[in-house]
Chain A
Amino acid sequence: MKAKKLKKDGRWAILFLAPAIIGLAIFTLYPLIESLHISFTEWDLFSPKKFIGVNNYVKFFHDATGLKVFKNTIVFTLVVVPLQLVTTFFLAVALNQKIRGVRFFRGAYFLPTIASMVSISIVWQWLFNTDFGIINYVIKLLGGSAVNWLTNPKTSLWAIIIVSCWKGTGYHMMIFLAGLQSVPSTYYEAAELDGCTGFSRLIRIVLPLIKPTVLYSSITCVINSMQVFDQVMIITGGGPARSSSVMVQYLYENAFDYYKMGYASAIGWIMAIFIFVLSVIQFKAMDNSDFSIE
């Protein structure tokens, strides 16, 4: 009976899975293998591929521009992830109370999340305008002097960082809020009876309880940050002098401006490997961390 059912179900399973398997094979599995193949070749999209071994990978770490965009991407990630997670965690804690206007706050914070990065970037480009932007206007009101946000190599990447944090706030806040709401109120009461309140309760009781949420947030945040692209293309174009250029943008340029498909693929793989390693590190860190309930 069981074996018969297995066989009968098997036929249906093929039917139900066919679109997904075909799609995955054509648009994920094949491109994945093919891009690995291309990364070991020199190829301009038109003439035959020339096998050059790991040269593309070696080249990246000797390419001054490559190292620069790599560094920018890492700096971007190392600043955005902690900043984003800490601020959104506390915002979520503040919102997770019986206060009036929860719906308003939720709606307001979420607006940047649903708008496209392209449109948001255009708006910020205007806000960052040196002479007529309101950011510099406020800075001058407070007694500072105007900043050439987008044309100064020292500030261009920071402009990108500010926009990215601003845009991601709603999303991560909402995830933390969902996590916080899944903590039963009895835990709070028990902690209070033991004299554990306020900030220490937050760090020692609440944070460990929402560990899966923290892990999810930090992993998605790292993955998204490593792949930052839209806002760079629109706000600074990577400039000035590559000061805000990032890996995906360099990949895009090599592929579709210089037709260096092999090199571009290698950049993609270096990025993917880096993302994978960072994800594993986060998993391990969360597993071993003693911020769990004793």
Chain B
Amino acid sequence: MSRKLKQRIVKTVSVVILLIGAFIILIPFIWMVSTSFKGIGDVFKYPPKFFGSEIKWQNYPAVFETINFWGMIKNTVIVTIVVAVGQLLTSSMAGFAFSYLEFRGREFLFRFFLFAIMIPFHVMLIPTFVIMRNLKLLNSLWALILPCIISPLSIFMMRQSFLSVPRSLGEAAAIDGCTPFGIWWRIFLPLSKPTLATLAIFSFMQTWNDFIRPLIFLNSNKKMTLTLGLYNMIGNFATDWGLMMAAVILSILPVFVFYLALQDFFVEGIALTGLKG
């Protein structure tokens, strides 16, 4: 068998495998969209058909009428944005200290942060709940925000990124009278935009999709986030699959749009975490 023929066979087999895989990955999404346009009558029909007897787009407006969807979106957006901005600020500040500044105990302190990356959140669940209770922050969005603003992993990533910025840039600026604050803000931050974007995306995904914190900290309808709202919907509307699927689609749509707009950053980000983590 010639080399070229062999290569073509390998390529064809690869594409076939990838297509089968993509099919398995996409089928649930396709079925989700199909179900979201069905009324109850079409949902419970056997054998299942891709198109029901009618296209019932009313499931979508119904989502806004049956649950406080706008409120849930608003809460989720607030928490997500505050956490992301907070994380970027604190991580880049700490990362700057750990990479550029020289001070006693730097390595020791840094090890400590590295250790913190490995602690599973669930171990701290109960004390965090008690802290929030004592601060009277239960059932407040702050309970979701405060514990997440410091992310040891982001601090680590920022440090790695800053280490690749040439030291001499900072030193030159210092000779010209620039303070460490100026060096951080005017030189290091602008040079690390890709890392900042990546961390923002990861923070966004994590917070938007977080389930256990809202489950534990929130209990009123007014404060509910999207994941918790969907979870509560299961109890009340579990058999109206058309409505449920419409709600699911509406809840993941913002993330999808965000992803499509920034796909390359996502991919870079995965590569970054994967190779350096």
Binding site for B on A (CB under 8 A): 5-6, 9-10, 12-13, 15-17, 19-21, 23-24, 26-32, 34-35, 38, 45, 90-91, 93-95, 97, 99, 103-112, 114-120, 122-127, 131-132, 134, 137, 166, 169-171, 174-175, 177-179, 181-182, 198, 212-213, 216-217, 220, 223, 226-227, 229-230, 233-234, 248, 251-252, 255-256, 261, 264-265, 268-269, 271-272, 275-276, 279
A265 engages B147 (CB within 8 Å): no
Interface residues of B in 259-275 (CB under 8 A from A): 259-260, 263, 266-267, 270-271, 273-275
Give the dominant DSSP class at A's interface. Answer: helix
Q: Considering only CB atoms and an 8 Å cut-off, how many residues of chain B contact the other chain? A: 95
Interface residues of B in 1-33 (CB under 8 A from A): 10-11, 13-15, 17-18, 21-22, 24-29, 31-32
Query: Which residues from chain B contact A109 at a C-beta distance below 8 Å?
Result: 21-22, 25
Q: Is B120 interfacial (CB-CB < 8 Å)?
A: yes
A45 to B11, CA, bound (A): 61
B11 engages A179 (CB within 8 Å): no
Closest to A95 in B: B18
Query: Which residues from chain B contact A20 at a C-beta distance below 8 Å?
Result: 90-91, 93-94, 113, 150, 155
A116 engages B102 (CB within 8 Å): no
Supposing A17-B109, A27-B150, A134-B48 touch, asked if A114 and B256 sit within 8 A by C-beta, the answer is yes
A35 engages B29 (CB within 8 Å): no
The number of inter-chain residue pairs (CB within 8 angstroms) is: 277
Supposing A34-B130, A264-B126 touch, asked if A16 and B275 sit within 8 A by C-beta, the answer is no
Give the dominant DSSP class at B's interface. Answer: helix
Q: Is B190 interfacial (CB-CB < 8 Å)?
A: no
B106 engages A13 (CB within 8 Å): yes
Q: Is B142 interfacial (CB-CB < 8 Å)?
A: no
Binding site for A on B (CB under 8 A): 10-11, 13-15, 17-18, 21-22, 24-29, 31-32, 35, 43-48, 89-91, 93-94, 96-97, 101-104, 106, 109, 112-113, 116, 118-131, 146-147, 149-150, 152, 155, 179-181, 184, 205, 208-209, 211-212, 215-216, 226-227, 230-231, 234, 241, 244-245, 248, 251-252, 255-256, 259-260, 263, 266-267, 270-271, 273-275, 277
A114 to B256, CA, bound (A): 7
A169 to B28, CA, bound (A): 14
Most buried by B among A116, A181, A264, A279: A116
Query: Which residues from chain B contact A97 at a C-beta distance below 8 Å?
Result: 10-11, 14
A68 to B10, CA, bound (A): 45
Supposing A122-B248, A268-B123 touch, asked if A27 and B18 sit within 8 A by C-beta, the answer is no
Supposing A109-B21, A116-B227, A124-B28 touch, asked if A16 and B126 sit within 8 A by C-beta, the answer is no
Query: Which residues from chain B contact A103 at a C-beta distance below 8 Å?
Result: 263
Known: A255-B126, A265-B126; 10 extra A-B contacts, CB below 8 A, are A16-B93, A27-B131, A105-B22, A115-B209, A115-B255, A116-B209, A118-B227, A119-B248, A213-B275, A229-B122
B146 engages A19 (CB within 8 Å): no
A17 engages B102 (CB within 8 Å): no
B120 engages A227 (CB within 8 Å): yes
A75 to B43, CA, bound (A): 34
A111 engages B118 (CB within 8 Å): no
Query: Which residues from chain B contact A265 at a C-beta distance below 8 Å?
Result: 123, 126
A108 engages B26 (CB within 8 Å): yes
- Would you list 6 pairs from A and B whose C-beta atoms are within 8 A, ordered by A residue? A20-B155, A111-B25, A118-B227, A134-B27, A217-B274, A229-B122
